[in-house]
Amino acid sequence: MTFDDLVPAWRSPRNAADSVQMERYKASIVSHLGKAYRDFLWHVGATAAVTIFLLGGFVQYVRSGGAYDFQREWGAIVSLLLPIGVVALFVRGFIRHRQQHPRYDLSILDGLRASLDQNRLSRSRLRVSMIVLTVAMALLPVITYQLQLVDKQRPHESVSMLIVFAIAYVVSMAWQIWKYRRTLLPESVRLQELIESYEQ
């Protein structure tokens, strides 16, 4: 038997795609894409609504003559600036990634190298995110202390706030560590092995 002997079996009608089955797959994909699009709109809408609500509330407060002492309440401003700094860092990383892999679509090997770099970027983002979350968490007692000093928060409100944020911190860190170790690291190993198989 030679390789050429396999070709007739490969090109036989038995090895053709089942058109009815493919249509069913397609219908399922279209439904999946529709749902993914609706989920995306919902998430974007919800995030935009929360951001506008919080920012609007702050602007309204300042415009209506609400007192805000930047020197005594700087903690809240720092915590607002942290995510902006993180976004700037992420955007810079993304731009660098695009510059390093402008033609990732030339071949599968180019695509794999770009994917590995993307994976490295994702891991770096998670590490930054975990560090920033920890810094924000460390800043929280300062913020509540400052809010109490200017009579904007009562002690029992501070306690409630600290408990809620601590729970959110633990949940968020657990999810990020899980994603890092269970998804991104194994994917990185797999991509490295694939790229090495090209170089053997």
Partner 1 sequence: MKSQHQQAIFDEWLREHAAILHHVANGFATGADRHDLMQELMLAMWRAVPAFRAASRPSTFIFRVTHNAALTWKRAERSHRRRLDRFQELERPAAVNEAGGEPPNDLLEFLYAAIRSLEPLDRSLVLLQLDGMSYAQIAEIHGLTESNVGVRLNRLKHKLTATLQEKTS
Where on the chain is the footprint of partner 1 (CB under 8 A)? Answer: 1-3, 5-7, 9-10, 12, 14-22, 24-26, 28-30, 32-33, 105-112, 115, 186-187, 190-191, 194, 197-198
Least spacing, CB of residue 40 vs partner 1, in Å: 13
Pick 13 or 65: Cβ nearer partner 1: 13
Min CB(90)–partner 1 separation in Å: 22
CB of 6 to partner 1, least distance (A): 6
The CB-of-24 to partner 1 minimum distance in angstroms stands at 5
Per residue, the 3-state secondary structure of the chain, as one string, reads CCHHHHHHHHCCHHHCCCHHHHHHHHHHHHHHHHHHHHHHHHHHHHHHHHHHHHHHHHHHHHHCCCCCCCCCCHHHHHHHHHHHHHHHHHHHHHHHHHHHCCCCCCCHHHHHHHHHHHHHHHHHHHHHHHHHHHHHHHHHHHHHHHHHHCCCCCHHHHHHHHHHHHHHHHHHHHHHHHHHHHHHHHHHHHHHHHHHHHHC
Nearer to partner 1, 97 or 190 (CB): 190
